[in-house]
Structures are given as structure tokens and as C-alpha cells.
Copies of this chain bind each other. A is one copy, B any other.
Amino acid sequence: MRILSLYERASRAFKDYPSLSKILVVATVGGGGLVAYSDAKPHNAVNVVESSPTAANKKRVVVLGTGWAGTSFLKNLDSATYDVHVISPRNYFAFTPLLPSVTCGTVEARSVVEPIRNIIRKKDGDYSFWEAECFKIDGKNKKVHCRPVQRQSLEGKEEFIVDYDYLVVAMGARSNTFNTPGVEENCHFLKEVEDAQKIRRNVIDCFEKSCLPNLSEDERKKHLHFVVVGGGPTGVEFSAALHDFISEDLVKLYPTAKDLVKITLLEAGDHILTMFDKRITAFAEEKFQRDGINLKTGSMVVKVTDKDICTKDRGTGEISSIPYGMVVWSTGIGTRPVVTDFMKQIGQSNRRVLATDEWLRVEGCDSIYALGDCATINQRKVMEDISAIFNKADKDQSGTLTTKEFQDALDDICERYPQVELYLKDKQVKNIVDLLKDSKGNDKKETLEMDIEGFKSALSQVDSKVKFLPATAQVAAQQGKYLARCFNEMEERTKNPEGPPRFRGVGRHRFHPFRYRHLGQFAPLGGEQTAAQLPGDWVSIGHSSQWLWYSVYASKQVSWRTRMLVVSDWGRRFIFGRDSSRI
């Protein structure tokens, strides 16, 4: 439909020039990108809590959240199978890795978002979207309680309840203040598009304030002191983007500010970007020093007032207080209250984050899945199941494992317990058989016979390699895609399971467990310098990786529309610089 409407627009505009219009359409279709729109179809949305007649005999899936995980799930879900309801306080998906760029106007806010309804209407099925916030998950009765974002003038009809057959929780996380006093009231966060817009306005505010008459030099300095708390990728990228914005654009417009402006990056640990290779950390720290960004490691924030930020030196214990113009807080994520409340209901109140099994099912719940930043996979330990594994592998029930029995069970063990593979890699042992041989001493004979005690001792250290996945967009997107595939094949896989055998039961798991594939991570460091860490510990630092970074970002954008908008924003900035209007 969309391609038609594009054609209509084109014909309307070029109706007097048929040849031109033909060229346009050929270019459009030939380009390939816009063909993505051709599958768009209008649909009959379901707007009441009761399902529409066509959807009544389908299972109802309720998706909470439209971030990376929820959107990826939605996009990959098979249209015809389910009656899908999406509930989120935002009616759009935001390409969050570009938020630091939005704070400085390198990219426009509107270029990094995609309306959820645009995604939904391209699917030929029963979908509905409600702009509302879920404030209570009732797992016992399979209901979610929701409240519209715009409560005004809805006359007491605010809250509504939605039943579900399957619930997909993808609500993301909130910024973590670690209960530091004053942070909530005085700091900016950088999680949502609105946050980025507010920061942008605030940077300009600080510069305008610093120019007002009758201020002392100290007061001007205070207004131009930008503090970033947290040396993770977001904090580092924001500091770098802000530095570029100031040195490339703002100092020209605010010439008196040049010598007064200061950026301070506070990090509680010893280094920034600790999740990256040490070479990247070193490069980033050096570059920040060259740029004049004031990097203070080992510095914990203890209080933020409306004028000062108080820090405590982790080494000396000394407390100092610095006046600031703006503070951006990006120290990590915490659990949303609705999820905390839900965790209490299902007996997970002693946990920090909602736990799921390796199939993304919430532990202790039927039909509830959780993915993205709001949950974490609680990887089962080998040692918990060691006897079951041994028994399953010992096919002849001899009480000892032979080399052959082992090799037969090996793939299944590695699939079910990914820590085994990591452990082997770390030990530089080719396969588990060699490991078992090693544990028995330098016993190099061809065959192997091992009892349960030997098996246990060989694998005793394996669980130390259990890894929690980082709270990144990449993980969330892969989980969404994985879960959608599970939903699409639910019927088929119930009959023909594809997963590993159940070591503690009979038969096989329906699906392969979720496995994260790390595709690398980027850290833009400003001044067209980017550090990239790719799989296989390949590290790339410097100017060249900038273009790589651009193209990876562009290719991971959700739609061709967003891709083109971002590229055109880059072009605009390249020609005209960034805008400094306070809007």
C-alpha cells in the first residue's frame, strides 16, 4: 500500500512529466530499500479488551514495552498465529545508541524513532497498540493492569485490565541512582528520547546563563561546568559528544565561554570503559586528557544539591564539593517498581533482577516471558545437575563413562551449559574428553573410564564461567528475535522438539536455549575517533572505524526511513554544524 501511496504522491507532483515520474518509481524500486514498504497493509485494529471475532480463537499475547526487546519480538512474530496486544507508554521505538548524538543535535530526535503503529500495520494480523503503562502484573489470574499515559480528561476510565494467554515482559529498566540523595531531583538521565531533548536544551541554557550580565567569573564557570557521572559507554560517549558540540559549534557563538567551560567525568572505579579491552580504555583516557576533559576516577558521588555535587575520593576518603551547571547521571540500571512488585508475588524478592530460565521464561511462572534489560537469564549450573548428567551420559548404566559415551553426550551438554565451552576455551583444551583426561593425571591412553566422583572433580570449576549477559541493545534485540521464533514454531516444536535432552527428565526440550552472539561493541570518543571491540578480541581504534561505525549503526536501524533520516542528519550537520536554538 505504501509503495502505491508513494507512487500516488509522485504522480500527483509529476503528473505533467510522465517520464520523470517513471524515473522516480524505477529509482525507488530499483534502490531496493523502499520495497520494504510494499508489504504494508491496513488492518482492523482491536480497540477493546475483548478480542475481535477473527482473533477470538487465537491465543492472546500481551507484549509490555516497545524498546529493543519488545520491538524485535514484534517484528519477527508470525502475523497470523496470535492475537497480539502491545502496551507501552511510548508509541514509538527509539534507536537508543544514537541518544548521545541527539543530546548535541548531531542527529535529530525524530530521526531515531519509529512509530510502533508503522511496524504493526505492515503485519497482516490481529495487532493492537495501547499507549499505556502497565502498573501491575497479576501472574496468578493472567491479567495485567494498565493506565494510560495521558490521564487527563479520560473521566475515571483511566485504568483497564487485559487478560493474556502469554505475557512478554520487555519493559526495560530505569536509571539507577543507588539512592544517592538529590540525584532524582537535580540530575539529567539519558535513557529516553525526552531525556536527550532536555539535555540539549539544558546545555544551551547553561551557555545562555553564563553570558548574562553582572555575574562573577566564578559564577560563569559554574554555569559552564558540565559533570557526567559514570564512565560506561553512555557516559563516555556523551562526554565526547558534548566536547565536540562545544568545541566545534558553541565556542564560535559564545566566544567568552571558551576559557570557562569544563567537562568533568566522574567514575567510581579505577578506569572508564571497563567492559572494553584495556587498550581501548587506555586510548580513551588519553584522548580525554588531550581534549581537556577532566577525568576523575575513584570518585564516588555522595550527594547532589541544586548547586553542588559532592564526591568522596575512594582512596583518601576525602569529600569535596564542586559547583556545577548540569549533571548527567549514567551509572547503570535498576529494576522498575512494577517488576519489583511482580518479583515479590512470584517469590523472587531476594533477587536483584527478574530471573528467567535459558528459554526466557520467568522462573516460577507459566506463560510469562521476560527479556531485555528488565530480566536476566539465570543459567543453570552444571554442578546442580552433575549426577543427572552423568546418568544420562552413562547409557549402559555401568557406573562409569567411556570415551564414546562422553563424545555422544558432549554436544548436548555444551548446548545446555554454555559455561562448559567457555571453560574449555579458557583452559585451551580442545574438548571435554581432554579435560577429563587431564583431571585424571597425564593418563594418555586412548580409552577412558571415569566414575561420578572423577566426573565431578573434572567439572568442579566449570560453573565459575557462567556469564551474565550485558544490558545492551544487542542482547535485547537477539532475545526478541529468538522468542518470536519460539512463538512462531510453538505448535510444531511441541510435537517435534528441537532442544537438548532433559537431563533431569525424559524427552527433549522444545527449543534450543537462547544463545547470545556478540557482534562487537563501539565507543565513539569524539573528534571522529571511535574505538571498536569486535568478536575474537579484535580491537580497532581511530579515525577509520568511524565510517565502519556509521555503517553498522545505519544497517542496524529499524527501517529504511530511519536510516535515511539519520544519514541526512549527518549530512546536515556536516554542512551547517549543529543548531544552538533553545527549542
Please list the residues of chain A having a beta carbon within 8 angstroms of any beta carbon in chain B.
1, 5-6, 9, 12-13, 34, 42-45, 47-49, 90-92, 105, 108-110, 113-115, 117-118, 121, 128-132, 148-150, 152-155, 157, 160, 162, 193-194, 197, 204-205, 208-209, 211-215, 219, 252-256, 306-307, 528, 561, 564-565, 568, 572, 574-577, 579-583
Contact = CB atoms under 8 A, between A and B. Distances in A.
A333 B148 CA distance: 36
A582 B209 contact: no
B582 A90 contact: yes
Contacts of A5: 252, 577
A582 B108 contact: no
Given A117-B580, A583-B92, A160 B213 contact: yes
Contacts of A197: 583
A300 to B, nearest CB: 24
A565 B110 CA distance: 14
B13 A574 contact: yes
Nearest to A575: B6
B528 A583 contact: no
Given A121-B253, A208-B131, A307-B153, A113 B47 contact: no
B579 A115 contact: yes
**What number of copies of this chain does the assembly contain?**
2
Closest 5 A/B residue pairs (Cβ): A92-B581, A117-B253, A131-B208, A113-B581, A49-B213
A270 to B, nearest CB: 33
Given A205-B150, A208-B91, A580-B91, A214 B160 contact: yes
A9 B106 CA distance: 14
A260 B300 CA distance: 56
A243 to B, nearest CB: 16
13 contacts: A12-B528, A13-B528, A43-B255, A108-B110, A110-B583, A113-B581, A113-B583, A117-B253, A132-B212, A155-B219, A157-B212, A157-B219, A564-B572
Nearest to A572: B565
B109 A583 contact: yes
B581 A160 contact: no
A254 B47 CA distance: 10
A213 to B, nearest CB: 5
A251 to B, nearest CB: 9
A215 B583 contact: no
Contacts of A9: 574
Given A121-B252, A255-B45, A574-B13, A150 B208 contact: yes
Given A121-B252, A572-B565, A583-B197, A211 B130 contact: yes
Given A110-B108, A213-B49, A254 B117 contact: yes
A194 B130 contact: no
Contacts of A110: 105, 108, 579, 581, 583
A107 to B, nearest CB: 11
A160 B255 CA distance: 22
A154 B206 CA distance: 11
Contacts of A205: 150
A121 to B, nearest CB: 6
Contacts of A47: 211-213, 215, 256
Contacts of A117: 253-254, 580
B583 A193 contact: yes
A27 to B, nearest CB: 11
Contacts of A254: 45, 117
Nearest to A211: B47
A485 B105 CA distance: 36
A580 B581 CA distance: 23
Most buried by B among A157, A209, A213: A213
Most buried by B among A128, A211, A306: A211
B109 A211 contact: no
